[in-house]
Structure formats: C-alpha cells, structure tokens
Amino acid sequence: MAKGKSQYCTWFCSDCNKANYLSCYLKRRNDEIVKELKKYCPQCRKHVIHKRKDTKKSS
C-alpha cells in the first residue's frame, strides 16, 4: 500500500470534450485548486481551455 493519498484528475477539452490529460496530485488543504487550464488539444489542433474533473483511482 502506498503512503499518502494522491488525487487523480482528468482534463477535458471545453471545445470537443475530449479527455486529453491525466494528472495526479497530493491533496493538501492549502493548495489552490486550479479548475481550468489552457492546454493544447490534439483534436482541435489548438490551445483550448481544459476543465478539470476529479477521478478516483480504481484498483
């Protein structure tokens, strides 16, 4: 069992709604949670706002 709880999140393109990025981070109280990020979407072939959605680790 791994120590510490890491939260997983997926970034969805706000344009085509495709899940383009996966990331995980350690959940801390003081951390500011970013909900939107501008990232490159290969489907739209441009930089688009991506929206974050938390996902639980499935195991």
Instruction: Give contact residues for Zn ion (rule: CB under 5 A).
Output: 13, 15-16, 41, 43-44
Min dist CB 33 to Zn ion, Å, is 22
Q: Select 7 or 20, whichever has its Cβ closest to Zn ion.
A: 20
Which DSSP letter does residue 18 get? -
Q: Which two tokens stand for residue 36?
A: 């939107």
Q: Between residues 11 and 41, which has the closer beta carbon with respect to Zn ion?
A: 41
**What distance in Å separates the CA atoms of residue 59 and residue 45, rounded to the nearest whole number?**
33
Can you name the residues that pair with 41 across neighbouring β-strands? Answer: 46
Residue 25 vs 40, nearer CB to Zn ion: 40
